[in-house]
């Protein structure tokens, strides 16, 4: 059985994360806490050998990937546009409150990329990587919402918030689909699989 193993890592913290502002496709850089989180992730990720490291082109993910790659003695293979965060349109930059609520529609926000489209884009990018790297280990640095909705679709269950710079380990087989082994750094109980 040919399994491709993925570490799916959300970027480190940004100032907008700390301020609880909706970030989306807005290119906000890591803050010092986020850089520290990326350095800390190296300890867990060094337990595995990685064949490729890829990331979203947004700076917060690209810098997280670079810090991790440096810590592992590797380099980032490439930046993949399809791994960019879900666009939230005019809701980006807003805090929870009346202004954000005024933009809310079923399934998201007015002018935003739909959850379904983001999941299809993210899962498509991951499955293309599985084709490119069969039976290999690929470290992917991307974004919380994109990874969450992609995993939701992949395993057929609803996952909640993905933490910054922690291990989510998933395996993909072309005919048997996806299996999530670790979520937010914790082993997933087999009965909870979709």
Binding residues for substrate: 10-17, 60
* CA–CA gap between residue 187 and residue 189 (Å, rounded): 6
Task: Write down the catalytic residue from 85, 92, 113, 179.
Answer: 85
Active-site hit among 11, 63, 143, 179: 11
Report DSSP state, residue 191.
G
Q: How is residue 131 written in tokens?
A: 């084709």
Measure CA 127 to chain center: 14
Q: Which residues are annotated as a binding site?
A: 10-17, 60
| SS3 state at 175 | coil
Distance CA 30, CA 55 (A): 14
11 tagged catalytic: yes
Determine the Cα–Cα distance for residues 4 and 76; give it in Å rounded to an integer: 18
Does residue 181 carry a catalytic annotation?
Answer: no
* Catalytic machinery residues: 11, 85
């Amino acid at each position: 059985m040919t399994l491709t193993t993925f570490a799916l890592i959300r970027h480190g913290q940004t100032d907008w994360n700390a301020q609880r502002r909706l970030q989306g496709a807005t290119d906000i850089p890591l803050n010092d806490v986020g850089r520290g989180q990326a350095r800390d992730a190296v300890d867990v990720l060094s337990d595995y050998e990685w064949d490729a490291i890829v990331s979203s082109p947004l700076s917060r993910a690209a810098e997280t990937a670079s810090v991790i790659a440096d810590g592992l003695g590797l380099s980032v293979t490439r930046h993949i546009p399809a791994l960019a965060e879900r666009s939230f349109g005019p809701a980006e930059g807003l805090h929870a409150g009346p202004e954000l609520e005024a933009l809310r529609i079923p399934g998201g926000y007015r002018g935003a990329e739909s959850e379904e489209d983001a999941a299809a884009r993210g899962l498509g990018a991951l499955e293309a990587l599985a084709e490119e790297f069969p039976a290999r280990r690929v470290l992917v640095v991307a974004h919380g919402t994109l990874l969450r909705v992609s995993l939701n679709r992949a395993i057929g269950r609803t996952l909640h918030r993905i933490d910054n710079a922690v291990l989510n380990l998933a395996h993909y087989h072309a005919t048997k689909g996806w299996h999530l082994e670790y979520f937010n750094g914790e082993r997933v109980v087999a009965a909870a699989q979709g």
